[in-house]
A = this chain, B = another copy of it.
Amino acid sequence: MSILIKGVTLDGHKKDIFIRDNLIQKIDDSINLSANVQISGDYKAAIPSFINGHTHAAMTLLRGYADDMHLQDWLEKKIWVAEAHMTEEDIYCGARLACLEMIKTGTTFFNDMYWFWKGTARAVQEMGIRAAISAVFIDFFDKKKAKEQIEINMKLFEESRNFGDRVTFTLGPHAIYTVSEGSLKWAADFARDHGLLIHVHLSETQEEVENCIRKQGMRPAEYLGKIGFLGPNVIACHGVWLSHKEILLLKKHGVKVVHNPISNMKLAVGKAFPYERLKTAGVTISLGTDGCSSNNNLDMLENMKFASLLQKYHHKDTTALPAREAFQMATINGAKAFGLNCGEVKEGALADLALIDLQRPELTPHFDLYSDLVYSGNGGCVDTVICDGKVLMANRRVENEETILEEARRCAFDLIKRASHSNG
């Protein structure tokens, strides 16, 4: 299988890009090789496709179901009630919708934590993108639950081999306020023994920090450091309330941090992500959308704009988090965080890339690609998406779109019906 992209704009120059199997084999001014697929690069720019560092994909099913509510009401009366009724089939439908939305907005990798691991894994396998998927690991400090969760995760780890190269099994201890110390330690050990990533929520709210100080006499990252949880395989999501000392601790252990600006603003976490401090410390910072009930979409370009503008606004500094850095958070930094050979369009890298349609009013006149994409564009500017050397979207068309939408709609309304009946 080979793809030849002719005359596309790459870093400001017209180039041909030749893809063989799942790698970018050659980039040159003019390549004359025959290919199975040839794509015109006229009025298009080639960019690395996006890496969504934190989401709960199947929550697309709950998009727009409950918003503008107080956090506890929202969780207790809406989200948790609906989640309690989800089946693996629901998760599959929701995750497939999420994959479709991600492909349509230029994302080809996501880091997931949700229920019914296999539902999400099936969707990813089928839709052609990549994901690191973890099952939500919550034991609520209950030994029996902890044992169950450990067994489930060990079993899933074994089974995950059946889902192909694009699906990576990851451990998902939810957060320090939902998972016991024993389970956190188990996750750290199991991940170390098997070379797994750990996906965890960290320092999202002030309440989390205050409760941790009360219970453990120290802040969340310090606590995780003390119990031997931290390491370069840990993907810590949010990190809004990290202290400077905690940032240095995360750096020391090589922990990767994922910023979720839209979710942080929508859920009113009360503080801006300490971007500059983390960057100065040398921590790898990537970008996530969070789930669709707290965003409510999976558009990484929109997310970059929010990331940049939130820093500018908060620090009263128009130069904070410039466009290019926001773009890097969503591409090369994500690749570093997840150990992926992508995030840049270069020879030898995985053929995970997107072509931007430059023939759009919001990208005109087009002085600067990064400014245009981050401040003016959105996911709708993506014309073509290639992942693992296969064309997943061409001219904004993805296979079976209508069916995926229809089935997700049916699933979601049926789920809410079940949840409402049990609730009323």
**A64 CA to B365 CA, complexed, in Å:** 8
**In the complex, what residue of chain B is closest to A292 when comparing beta carbons?**
B376
Selected A-B contacts with CB under 8 Å, 23 pairs: A60-B365, A63-B372, A63-B376, A64-B372, A67-B322, A68-B319, A69-B318, A70-B318, A71-B318, A74-B318, A100-B361, A265-B309, A266-B318, A296-B372, A296-B375, A298-B362, A299-B378, A306-B309, A360-B405, A361-B404, A364-B405, A365-B408, A365-B409
**In the complex, what residue of chain B is closest to A402 when comparing beta carbons?**
B359
A316 touches B268 (CB 8 A): yes
**In the complex, what residue of chain B is closest to A74 when comparing beta carbons?**
B318
Picked from B267, B268, B313, B380, the residue with its CB within 8 Å of the CB of A268 is: B313
**A298 CA to B412 CA, complexed, in Å:** 33
Chain B nearest CB from A237 CB (Å) reads: 18
Interface presence of A217 (CB below 8 A) = no
A361 touches B101 (CB 8 A): yes
Taking A262-B309, A375-B67 as contacts, is the C-beta distance between A268 and B317 under 8 angstroms?
A: yes
Chain B nearest CB from A241 CB (Å) reads: 13
Taking A361-B405, A364-B408, A378-B380 as contacts, is the C-beta distance between A319 and B265 under 8 angstroms?
A: no
A323 touches B67 (CB 8 A): yes
Chain B nearest CB from A354 CB (Å) reads: 16
Chain B residues within an 8 Å CB radius of A378: 299, 302, 378-380
Chain B residues within an 8 Å CB radius of A376: 63-64, 292, 295-297
Chain B nearest CB from A263 CB (Å) reads: 10
A365 touches B63 (CB 8 A): yes
Interface presence of A22 (CB below 8 A) = no
Q: Is the interface of A mostly helix, strand, loop or mixed?
A: helix
**A265 CA to B321 CA, complexed, in Å:** 12
Chain B residues within an 8 Å CB radius of A277: none
Chain B nearest CB from A351 CB (Å) reads: 23
Picked from B270, B361, B377, the residue with its CB within 8 Å of the CB of A97 is: B361
Given contacts A270-B313, A364-B412, 14 further A-B contacts (CB under 8 A): A60-B361, A60-B365, A61-B365, A63-B367, A63-B371, A64-B372, A67-B375, A70-B318, A97-B361, A299-B362, A302-B305, A360-B405, A364-B405, A378-B379
Chain B residues within an 8 Å CB radius of A70: 318-319
Chain B residues within an 8 Å CB radius of A408: 364-365
Chain B nearest CB from A305 CB (Å) reads: 8
Most buried by B among A71, A74, A362, A416: A362
